[in-house]
Structure 1
Amino acid sequence: MTKREKQAIGQQILMAFRAAGAAEVAPDLLLPAETLLDLYGEDIRARAYVTQDPIRGEMMLRPDFTVPVVQMHMENGAEPARYCYLGEVFRKQDHGETPPEHPRDNEYLQAGFELFARDADADAEVFALFHGLLAPLHLQASMGDMDLLMDAVRALPLSGARRAALLHHIWRPKRFARLLERFSTSAPPRAFAEPANWTGLRSPAEMQARIARLQADAHEAPLAPIWADRLSRLFAVSAPAPEALRQLRDLAQEIPDITDAVDRLERNLAALTSRGIDVAAIHFDASHGRHTMEYYDGMTFSFTAPGRADWPPVATGGRYDALAAVLGQAQGRSIPAVGGIIRPGLVHELGGLNLGNAA
């Protein structure tokens, strides 16, 4: 498959996005690393290509379109606004100790659509756009909701520090499970040498604050087993969307704080049904968003190719209100946002799109 073939598919997708009211934008290929590091932390270095510019400082090859599109919108965009784009992103692929049989590309083409609007129907609009466009490929549609999980974690009877730690690692299931297990048992107090022997890059004040947090944490009561059980059952909900909604209604009786998120899911499914989508064919996985981009904080979705377990999703997306709020702080702006991307290369391998059949 040549780059020209991928570009041709990408242009078809871009045309469909423009027909949906989106304005085409072209974010820079080289982005300031500072913003991305502030948002994602140092973990982004393991996935992005970083270079040093003598004038601009540390820069990254574009690992993602969403951040620069949000920044551009916050500087001069009107409300509501729809944007689309087509271009390469660059990411290092962590394959562990042994290379995979089918390594993922380090450079690949993305076609994307982003919607900035306060309309409660925005989730359904974006999902339905992708669903209709990709319908000829007969992909499996899946969705989740990170707000559902985060509301459940915020409801835990824990200190603010412990809840913050769990929320920080919610996208890292193994770390999250270890933390939850630790918070569910009594830990012996930790002794620290006095006076402290300061070493490393942290300042004495930072080290002292860290010690104080560890000492305070050791005196916290363990989390009652019932809460870990409730979280486990919530995270394990995986079923056709209408059945998942029923299961979540039952869990909301035990975790009332998730009721608002469950209500939103019900409204989204109703909105999709009104657009002619068979929601029984959508698979809802409560943990779906834990395996997507870390800035998603509401609905998430993906479209995957059956029988292609070694492939990444053909399309992914979701809601990222908190990211938009953070990036809009400098301009004093905040607006809800939802969007997604399609991989034209994978679409081409599946035979391309017949846009005349797309809803």
Structure 2
Amino acid sequence: MRTEPAVPADALAAIRAPMLAAGAEPVDAPILQPLNLLLDLAGEAMRARLFVVQAEGGAEACLRPDFTVAVARGHLERGAAAGRYVYEGPAFRASQGSDRAEEFLQLGVELFDAGAGTSADADAEIAALAWRSAQAGGRDDLTLWLGDVGLFAAFIDSLSLPAALAARLTRVAGRPRLLNAELARAGEPARPASGGQLAALLSSLGEDKAATLLEEVWSLAGVEPVGGRGPGEIAARLVRRAEAADAAALTEAQARAIADFMAISDAPAAGLARVRELAGAKGKALEAALADWRVRLEQLAAVVPAERLRFAPALGHAFDYYDGLTFEVRSQALGAGRPVAVGGRYDGLLARLGGASGARAVGCMVRPWRAFSGGEA
């Protein structure tokens, strides 16, 4: 396993300082994380980037690829309504076909609240924190890129699409391959699902009953699933395939509007103006999302120079649990593929992990070796 070089102590202390000043409680997280959960959050394609381990007869696990899920699980286990945590430690991702480090240091802050007040203030606080921490490493070529998964959902709502199609598009917003497939079939009639009759049958039952039926079929046939996937996960995917087949396709005009939205990459004011221009109707969801952006940008303006801000609403991360603001601090020398810091809002993750509905979460992570001016090149 290729290990990242150590950052000099004084440089690391400077990068760490903004995180420690955020008033967060220091926490650690188990290095071993449940594989099934992470694949459910990131998709099967993520498996190739994980270090998978399995004891004889035990469930598959993996070395933690980052801290967010682990810290969120720890917060929920505490049963607290709110929490603010800071962490520091190694993370692990396989890097096939390249010489990138596979064990690397991460620093980060995760903020959880019970849903009171506006999320835009916390979004701006965390994005500004990531910027200050990344900038403390000494690089002078940084840019803060801003995106928003939630804005995509509001934009889709403005197009007045059939409910099933709108839900499908929102679900695949962070997965370019699946979204492009939807855009490519614009104007086509509905197609049979790849899951065939079984997918259609399970879809008619709903996910809970579908999982029970699938488990009974496996039991009768003496089948054991492979790859660590349970009946609930497999049934959910088959149901979604059937729903996708039943959903009407986009019109060509709608597909163009979505493609143009996903292609926005500009200064924030110009990018948001373009969103308004492309929207089919100015619904409440879109107006609320744009109002939140005014709050974020007003607060970030006090920390980040205007020329260092970019807006690309389609900005996403490897894990698809982000459902609101997303951001990356990028170095011109390292390029878009090696961000110095990343983060965003992931309210829905807490519910997926068994937390109360309405709870909210936002966080950021910084790679010190990338932030350090004498580090990754």
Query: For this structure pair, what is the TM-score category when the shorter chain's length is used for normalisation?
Result: 0.7 to 0.9
Corresponding position: 1:17 with 2:24 = no
Moved more, 81-90 or 313-322: 81-90
Compute the displacement of 1:276 (Å): 4.5
Query: Which aligned pairs between 1:1-359 and structure 2 lie closer than 5 A?
Result: 3-5=5-7, 9-54=11-56, 57-76=59-78, 78-94=80-96, 99-100=97-98, 103-117=99-113, 118-120=116-118, 121-135=121-135, 136-138=138-140, 139-154=142-157, 157-186=160-189, 221-252=248-279, 254=281, 256=283, 257-273=285-301, 275-289=302-316, 291-309=317-335, 312-329=338-355, 332=356, 334-348=358-372, 350-351=373-374
What is the root-mean-square deviation in Å for CA atoms of aligned residues? 3.6
Letter of the 1:247 partner, please give it.
Answer: R
Compute the displacement of 1:351 (Å): 3.6
Other structure's SS at 1:137 match: coil
Determine if contact 1:10/1:110 at 8 Å carries over to the other structure.
no
Letter of the 1:85 partner, please give it.
Answer: Y
Residue identity (%): 34
Other structure's SS at 2:33 match: strand
Compute the displacement of 1:180 (Å): 2.3
- Give me the whole-angstrom Cα distance separating, in 1, the residues matched to 2:29 and 2:342: 19
String of CA shifts for 1:177-222, please: whole Å, max 9, x gaps: 122222531257799999xxxxxxx787999999998788667654
**Count of matched residue pairs:** 335
Other structure's SS at 2:133 match: helix
- Give me the whole-angstrom Cα distance separating, in 1, the residues matched to 2:235 and 2:270: 50
Q: How has the CA–CA distance of structure 1 residues 208 and 57 changed in structure 2, closer, same or farther, with 3 Å as cutoff?
A: closer
Determine if contact 1:86/1:111 at 8 Å carries over to the other structure.
yes
Determine if contact 1:141/1:301 at 8 Å carries over to the other structure.
yes
Alignment match, 2:204: none
Moved more, 313-322 or 103-112: 103-112
Other structure's SS at 1:114 match: strand
Letter of the 1:265 partner, please give it.
Answer: W
Determine if contact 2:342/2:366 at 8 Å carries over to the other structure.
yes
Letter of the 1:346 partner, please give it.
Answer: R
- Give me the whole-angstrom Cα distance separating, in 2, the residues matched to 1:133 and 1:225: 44
For structure 1, list consecutive stretches of 5 or more residues without a partner in the other structure. 195-201, 353-359
Letter of the 1:144 partner, please give it.
Answer: G
Moved more, 11-20 or 140-149: 11-20
- Give me the whole-angstrom Cα distance separating, in 2, the residues matched to 1:293 and 1:216: 23
TM-score, with structure 1 as normaliser:
0.79
For structure 2, list consecutive stretches of 5 or more residues without a partner in the other structure. 198-213, 219-230
- Give me the whole-angstrom Cα distance separating, in 2, the residues matched to 1:2 and 1:188: 47
Q: How has the CA–CA distance of structure 1 residues 310 and 271 changed in structure 2, closer, same or farther, with 3 Å as cutoff?
A: closer
- Give me the whole-angstrom Cα distance separating, in 2, the residues matched to 1:213 and 1:113: 34
- Give me the whole-angstrom Cα distance separating, in 1, the residues matched to 2:106 and 2:132: 18
Determine if contact 1:62/1:90 at 8 Å carries over to the other structure.
yes
- Give me the whole-angstrom Cα distance separating, in 2, the residues matched to 1:137 and 1:342: 13
Q: How has the CA–CA distance of structure 1 residues 156 and 4 changed in structure 2, closer, same or farther, with 3 Å as cutoff?
A: same
String of CA shifts for 1:119-166, please: whole Å, max 9, x gaps: 531011111222223334231111111111123335555555444433
- Give me the whole-angstrom Cα distance separating, in 2, the residues matched to 1:287 and 1:209: 25
TM-score, with structure 2 as normaliser:
0.76
Compute the displacement of 1:301 (Å): 1.0
- Give me the whole-angstrom Cα distance separating, in 2, the residues matched to 1:328 and 1:250: 39
